[in-house]
């Protein structure tokens, strides 16, 4: 059975690609799918840190490509879910250490074993990006409600289409509930109107994400935070389930009081 390879990319850096990969991957694993995460950001690896698996790395993606080890040897099994594994990037090399054709072979091999292969793309549009998308069947673009991030996302969609990855979908990350309440934020309709692609999910900004990244525990592992729920919903949509988008507007002091007195 061949799985599906999905690349998570953005163009702009710092919009939350790695966090998205860690959370969607973990959420899919929690739903009992066999999942492998690939960190394609060679030279600037992060996914292992966010997953809390840094200290288990022996071999990495470059070792596999250069035949220093077998693919199975480089895969790190997640400490919480045994059906989740990570192929880490090399930290001491750079993007030229892997070629797109090698990447494609690698992803195809993993697809035979897995239900989902999630590829974490580096920022930018150079070789690292080309490597990351080489083996992918679908693309998810992460953006934030900022003009610069949306502009880069648009550029990436154009490049993906030129590479034959049609119909990419977009995740809008880090939506600030307070700013949405005030009407200060670039709103979701504006973004979708410009990008003209399907919306895959919206994720509210939450300081707990930083905490969980630092601890190496993806936020989907926790029950409460809205951001975790948002990532779980995206994972469900990836498996084909229909899920409504979460409500971003936060209860303000007044709406809370109204609720208490049953005015709303």
Q: Give yes or no for residue 1 binding other proteins (CB under 8 A).
A: no
Under rule CB under 8 A, residue 193 binds other proteins = yes
Select from 131-139, 171-179, 190-198, 211-219 the region that touches other proteins (CB under 8 A). Answer: 190-198
Residue 68 tokens, joined:
């220093």
* Of the residues 83, 151, 199, 236, which one makes contact with other proteins according to CB under 8 A: 151
**Binding region for other proteins (CB under 8 A) out of 1-9, 76-84, 150-158, 213-221:** 150-158
Residue 206 found at the interface with other proteins (CB under 8 A) = no
Given 1, 55, 183, 196, the residue binding other proteins (CB under 8 A): 196
Q: Does residue 164 belong to the site contacting other proteins (CB under 8 A)?
A: no
Report phi then psi at 223, rounded to 5: -80, -45
Considering the complex, what minimum distance in angstroms separates the CB of residue 157 from other proteins? 6
Binding flags for other proteins, 19-58, as an x/- string (CB under 8 A): ----------------------------------------
To which residue do tokens 């999630």 refer? 118
Sign, CA dihedral 216-156-232-238, equals negative
Following DSSP, what letter does each residue of 36-89 receive, concatenated?
EEEE--TTS--HHHHHT-GGG-SS-HHHHHTTSS-HHHHPEEPSS-TTEEEEPP
Task: Report, in Å, the least distance between residue 51 CB and other proteins.
Answer: 32
DSSP character at residue 246? P
CB of 155 or CB of 249, closer to other proteins: 155
Specify which residues 35 forms β-bridges with: 84, 116
- CB nearer to other proteins: give 76 or 157: 157
Structural contact between residues 47 and 179, judged by C-beta atoms closer than 8 angstroms = no
Q: Rule CB under 8 A: which of 209-248 touch other proteins?
A: none
- Binding of other proteins at residue 169 (CB under 8 A)? no
The verdict on 166 binding other proteins (CB under 8 A) reads no
CB-count exposure of residue 149 (10 Å: 0-12, 13-18, 19+): buried
Buried b (16+ CB within 10 A) or exposed e, 52-68: bbbeebebbbbbbbeee
- Residue 194 binds other proteins, judged by CB under 8 A: yes
Helix (H) or strand (E) holding 141: strand 138-143
Interface residues with other proteins (CB under 8 A) are: 151-152, 154-155, 157-159, 161, 190, 193-194, 196
């Amino acid at each position: 059975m061949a799985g599906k390879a999905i690349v998570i990319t953005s163009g702009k850096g710092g919009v939350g690609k790695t966090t998205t990969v860690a959370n969607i991957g973990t959420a899919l694993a929690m739903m009992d799918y066999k999942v492998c995460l690939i960190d394609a950001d060679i030279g600037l690896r992060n996914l292992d840190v966010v997953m809390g698996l840094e200290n288990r790395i022996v071999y990495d993606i470059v070792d596999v490509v250069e035949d220093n080890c077998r693919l199975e040897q480089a895969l790190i099994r997640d400490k919480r879910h045994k059906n989740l594994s990570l192929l880490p990037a090399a930290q001491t090399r750079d993007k030229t250490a892997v070629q797109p054709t090698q990447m494609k072979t690698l992803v195809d091999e993993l697809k035979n074993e897995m239900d989902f292969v999630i590829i974490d793309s580096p920022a930018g549009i150079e070789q690292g990006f080309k490597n990351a998308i080489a083996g992918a069947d679908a693309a998810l673009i992460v953006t934030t409600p900022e003009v610069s991030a949306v502009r880069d996302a648009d550029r990436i969609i154009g490049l993906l289409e030129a590479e034959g990855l049609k119909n990419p979908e977009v995740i809008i990350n880090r939506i600030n509930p307070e700013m949405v309440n005030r009407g200060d934020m670039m709103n979701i309709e504006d973004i979708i109107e410009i990008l003209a692609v399907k919306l895959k999910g919206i994720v509210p900004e939450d300081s707990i994400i930083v905490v969980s990244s630092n601890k190496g525990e993806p936020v989907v592992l926790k029950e409460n935070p809205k951001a975790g729920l948002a990532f779980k919903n995206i994972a469900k949509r990836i498996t084909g389930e229909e899920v409504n988008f979460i409500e971003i507007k936060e209860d303000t002091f007044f709406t809370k009081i109204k609720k208490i007195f049953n005015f709303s």
